[in-house]
Amino acid sequence: MPFAHRPHFDWRLRTRTLPLGPRTLIMGILNTTPDSFSDGGRFLDPNAALTHALQMLDDGADILDLGGESTRPNSTPVTPTEEQARVLPILRTILAARPNAIVSIDTYHAETARFAIEAGAEIVNDVSGLLWDNAMAATCAELHCGVVLMHTRGRPQQWRILPALAHDEVVPLVLSELGERTNAALTAGIRRDAIVLDPGFGFGKILDENFPLLAHLDTVHALGYPLLAGLSRKGFLLKSLATKPASPHLDSEMWVSASTAANTAAILAGAHILRVHDVHPARETVAIADRILAAEDDAT
């Protein structure tokens, strides 16, 4: 059974370079928000946030992705000032405790990105793909940081009313618009080897529209960049398991099993990085799926 060949890249961050391809990297999610879909409010307290961050690193996270604004469907935007008040103190605390930790700032605000990178973050993870703040592209180019460009269709407040996509429309749309986003990044002066692409599962793709994207994730390699897959606790997975709409109160084993299945598929399609809430089970998933990819490469 053939699986994707995962190309190797050297991802240039602010102060270091990460090899991508020899093994799947894990990006652990740290939401310092009151309203994120599955963990809103759990890590608003700085002590709770630090404890969770350190636990994720101990469990094997290669990167911590720190965010201060929820982008769940119909979420309420926050100001950059409020976002910074949530993320900057915990960023400094994490780096004081673990100076070598690699931290990504999950933001679409250029001002927040600047403050976070100057405080020691290495990566800007922009769910809008540089679209929602006109200053973001130039800011990332100036900061010489790593950049994750996500494909997003509309804004969270619009997702419930977006017109449906036919299954054969999803992948061409993502390829076309991510191509536009990478061209915009390069034009702004962002280094090619600083860019990782995220196809944006759940971001403007409604429920079953996400499965064609996962089934054909390997085609996104045609754009020529490393891939990040953010499938953890996504509603379209849980909707397939539950008899009622997915909610934050579903059994934790259901969260893990659904995410594990999707993460395995993503790795076998050539994803370089998994963005996850549950680091320990993700590390176990990576151990097996990476061995399968290695065996596939050995056989060819």
Cβ contact 53:90 at 8 Å: yes
Tokens 């269709």 label which residue? 153
User: What is the identity of the amino acid at 143?
Assistant: L
Residue 181 contacts by C-beta under 8 Å, 6 or more apart in sequence? Answer: 129, 130, 131, 149, 151
Catalytic residue, chosen from 12, 114, 205, 275, is 275
Cβ contact 172:220 at 8 Å: no
Q: Is 275 a catalytic residue?
A: yes
Neighbours of 154 (CB within 10 A): 12
Q: Is 244 a catalytic residue?
A: no
Mapping DSSP to helix (H, G, I), strand (E, B) and coil, where does residue 289 land? helix
User: What is the identity of the amino acid at 77?
Assistant: P
Cβ contact 95:69 at 8 Å: no
Catalytic residue, chosen from 12, 155, 234, 239, is 234
Report the Cα–Cα distance between both ends of the chain, in Å, rounded: 12
Cβ contact 28:276 at 8 Å: yes
User: Per this entry, what is the length of the chain?
Assistant: 300
Enumerate the active-site residues. 234, 275
